[in-house]
Every structure is written in C-alpha cells, then in structure tokens.
Chains A and B, each alone.
Chain A
Amino acid sequence: MVILLAMLYQHFSYLEYIRGALKGIAAVGVGLIAGTGFKMLKDEFCYPPMLLVVGLTLLAGIYFDLALGWVVLIVAPVAFIFARRKARRL
C-alpha cells in the first residue's frame, strides 16, 4: 500500500496542494514522534537522575551531532551506572 501511495505521489507531486498536504503530514509526524518521547519521559521522573542520561543523549546527538553508534557507545555506560542506582533505590 505504501508503494502504491508513493507511485501516486510520483504522478501527482507537481500539484501544489499535494505537496502542501505532505508538508502538513510530515510536521504532524514529527510532533507525534516528539509526543511519544515526552510520554515515555514521564516515567523517568520517578527517579530524576535518569533524566541526566536523557539529557546526555540529547547533548551528544543534537549539540555535538554525533552519529547514532557513537551516541549509544558513549551514553550506554552512563545509563547503566544510573540504572544500577535506580534499581537499588526503587
């Protein structure tokens, strides 16, 4: 079905309202992804130090613009240290 939609897109992508509609869907799609992230984030407030792990991931991924593999390699050890503390605390 998705390929069918893509074929339709190739035929009608010159139409202004199709391009506009896709822009709108993309903007909503990004909002939905961010929404998923924020919903998951709520669970981390039960042990706030875990938010540092999330923050470190954001710092590595956005500010330093590191590749995904490097972000995982750098943040994972820190995540395990804090996760160990969280498991003992809760």
Chain B
Amino acid sequence: MTLLISLFIKLSLLSFVAFGGIIAVLPSLFDLAVNQEHWIDAATFADYFAIAQAAPGPNFMTITLVGWQVYGVVGAIVASIAVCWPSCVMVFYLERYITSIKDPEKKQIIQYAAAALAIGLVLTSSWKLSVGFNNHWSEIVLTITVLVITQLSKIHPLYLIALGALLGGMGLLS
C-alpha cells in the first residue's frame, strides 16, 4: 500500500511540471523509476516505451506500464490517474485564466512562451531518450533516419514503427 501511495504522489508531482506533454516527462520518469526508486530496470523501461509506442492510445502508456510493473493492474490504474489529474486541473484553471484575459497581446505572450518552452523540452526529452535507449550505432542511425523522414514526408508513424520492428526483429540493430 505504501508503494502504491508513493507511486501516486511521485507521478502526480511529475505531472505538475509536464510542460511539453508527457513526452517531456519521460526522461524524468526514467530517472525516477530506474535510478531513484528501482521500480524497473533500464532495458525493461525501454521495452515498455516501445510497447507503448506500438499500442494505440495516448502517450502516457509508458507510465501506465511502469505502474503495472510496480503494483499490477491497480498500479497501472493508479499511475494513469496520477499522471492525468494534475494536468487536467491545471489546464482547467489555466484555460479559465487565459479566457478571462481581455488583452489579446497578453494571451499571445503566454502562447508564444509556452510553445518555445514546450519545443525545448520535447527536444531535450528526445535527446535524453536517445542516449538512454540507443545502445548501438545502428539504432542511432534508425532514429536519425526516422527524424529525417518525418521532416520530409507525411508517412504514417505506424509504417515507421513496423519498419523498426522488422529491422530489429531481423537482428539488424545489434
């Protein structure tokens, strides 16, 4: 029970600073779950990230799986709620605050500042995840290739995920 409460509190606190979305939180979650709390090892975290990417649903599925690892189905539910409620409450009150602002310039300032911060956090997250997950040069090449493809085409991510699974399954990434 203590573990469950700890899971709820720590993930809730993490969610309060989730500017840039859950993606931005993933390196902090990695640090919390792997290095600080030892809920999960680094390789399993990377695998859960992959499973969450492959499965349909919102981005926070990695957190659901970490919760599942810690305390089964109850842990998965608690982790999902813990990561959602702070953002929901904050967005609700922020939206009310922003709507109440009459000066359009002030609204734009908030929008511009939040966007730049979010971009920085998403890029930071992708760098940290790449360093954490990609252990072989071929995986780094695949990551960069996917990055380039996403910039140059509008190919559906599912095809790229399937390609990654295929290349990895054939043993070409190690």
Check A83 against B109 for contact (C-beta < 8 Å).
yes
- B123's partner among A3, A20, A58, A84 (CB-CB below 8 A) is A58
Q: Select which of A28, A50, A86 is within 8 A of B146 by beta carbon.
A: A28
In the complex, what distance in Å separates the CA atom of A37 from the CA atom of B154?
15
- Count A-B contacts at CB 8 Å: 250
B residues 34-65 touching A (CB-CB < 8 Å): 46-57, 61, 64-65
Query: Is A25 touching B130 in the complex (CB atoms < 8 A)?
Result: no
Q: List, in ascending order, chain B residues with CB within 8 A of A16's CB.
A: 171
Contacts of B112 in A (CB 8 A): 50, 79, 82-83, 86-87
Q: How far in angstroms is the closest Cβ of chain A from B106?
A: 8
Q: Are B17 and A2 in contact (CB under 8 A)?
A: no
User: Known: A29-B161, A54-B119. Contact between A38 and B147, CB under 8 A?
Assistant: yes
Chain A's closest residue to B18 (CB) is: A68
Chain B residues within 8 Å of chain A by Cβ, number: 80
Cβ contacts A to B, 25 pairs, < 8 Å = A3-B65, A3-B68, A5-B54, A20-B172, A21-B165, A24-B163, A24-B173, A25-B164, A29-B49, A29-B164, A33-B125, A34-B130, A41-B123, A44-B116, A50-B112, A54-B116, A57-B117, A57-B123, A61-B124, A61-B125, A62-B128, A72-B19, A82-B112, A87-B108, A87-B109
Interface residues of A (CB under 8 A from B): 1-3, 5-6, 9, 13, 16-41, 43-44, 50, 53-58, 61-62, 67-69, 71-72, 75-76, 79-80, 82-84, 86-88
